[in-house]
Amino acid sequence: MFIVTGGAGFVGSNLVRELNRRGHTDILVVDNLARCEKARNLSDLTLSDYLDKREFRARLDAGTLDLRPEAVFHNGACSDTMESDGRYMMENNFGDSKALLHWCLTRKIPLVYASSAAIYGTSPDFAPIQGNERPLNVYGYSKLAFDQHVRALMPDIQSPVVGLRYFNVFGPREQHKGRMMSVLHQLLHQLRETGVCRLFEGTDGCDHGEQKRDFIFVGDIVRMNLHFGGSRMVKAIANAGTGQARTFNDIAKILIANLGEGRIEYIPFPAELVGKYQSFTQADVRCLRAAGYEAPFTGLEAGIAATLTET
């Protein structure tokens, strides 16, 4: 069996879908369906059990979670980068992750968990080393705090543990995320509603719409999770990106070309985001390759085309 936390979310539900496609249905999904629209991501999937995240954490703390999964894929987190309640963020992203980590380590169960490129903040260097880690918000710090905890334990860990620092993931099954949807889905929604893609004017030395991010298709993220969830002994914290930054203008133009209509409009950069915005990200993937992941990445054009067939 497998455990997928955040299994009703964007990455988690895509991961469950791929497990199903590979013939696995003995899957425990852990999530919080207080936002009931997320349940739509589970409606076409097959799983053997579901637990609310609070009950799951209670069982971890009480020592009553008597399971022996082949691997745990931990994607459950509060991913709202604008969340200002630091206590809530740390309990969700650090406390829950720490409890699950130690449960896995005690039983020597492979753990693959979602970290984040938000850890790098405005750093110009994206190698996963301490000097480059400058989170701009409590979300980024919560992810960094857990990575630091894993690092401290790493010399003594005797089972596979891999942290994947997700860059800008896009693809199907993220419509429920509201303001935290990927740039692609936000622009797609704008195009379909108004015929206009609204991009930020130039900032941080970028021309209008030329801010760059490392956009990675969710299918690649799923393949990374399943690769590292195998029984081979790997201990690593690595970037989950393509290593190639593309502009917001690129995203908009590809969408317009696929839809056959639309235009781009540039809007003033929000004052509340000044000093809190990543205008450039590009994964350094050397650690990912060194950890044994050799598969090629889906190109941006192909990933967008695949997303549009399901959206």
User: Mapped to the 3 state alphabet, what secondary structure does 247-286 carry?
Assistant: EHHHHHHHHHHHHCCCEEEEECCCHHHCCCCCCECCCCCH
For 141-153, what is each residue's pLDDT tens digit? 999 999 999 999 9
Please identify every stretch of the chain with a pLDDT value under 70, giving residue numbers as ranges: 177
Which of 38, 143, 177, 212 is catalytic? The answer is 177
Q: CA 57 to CA 70: how far, in whole Å?
A: 19
Q: Where in the chain is the domain with CATH 3.40.50.720?
A: 2-170+215-244+279-298
3-state DSSP helix/strand/coil percent for the chain, to nearest 5? Answer: 45, 20, 40
| 175-212+245-273 CATH | 3.90.25.10
For 79-106, what is each residue's pLDDT tens digit? 888 787 899 999 999 999 999 999 999 9
Give the count of alpha carbons within 13 A of 108, CB side only: 6
Active site residue 177: yes
DSSP state at residue 137: S
Say which CATH topology domain 2-170+215-244+279-298 has: Rossmann fold (3.40.50)
> What percentage of the chain exceeds 70 in pLDDT?
99
**According to the model, what pLDDT value does residue 311 have?**
76
**According to the model, what pLDDT value does residue 176 have?**
73
For 237-251, what is each residue's pLDDT tens digit? 999 999 999 999 999
**According to the model, what pLDDT value does residue 275 have?**
79
Is the distance from CB of 200 to CB of 248 less than 8 angstroms?
yes
Q: Where in the chain is the domain with CATH 3.90.25.10?
A: 175-212+245-273
Is the distance from CB of 172 to CB of 179 less than 8 angstroms?
no
**According to the model, what pLDDT value does residue 84 have?**
79
Is the distance from CB of 216 to CB of 297 less than 8 angstroms?
yes
Which of 139, 141, 166, 293 is catalytic? The answer is 139
Active site residue 141: no
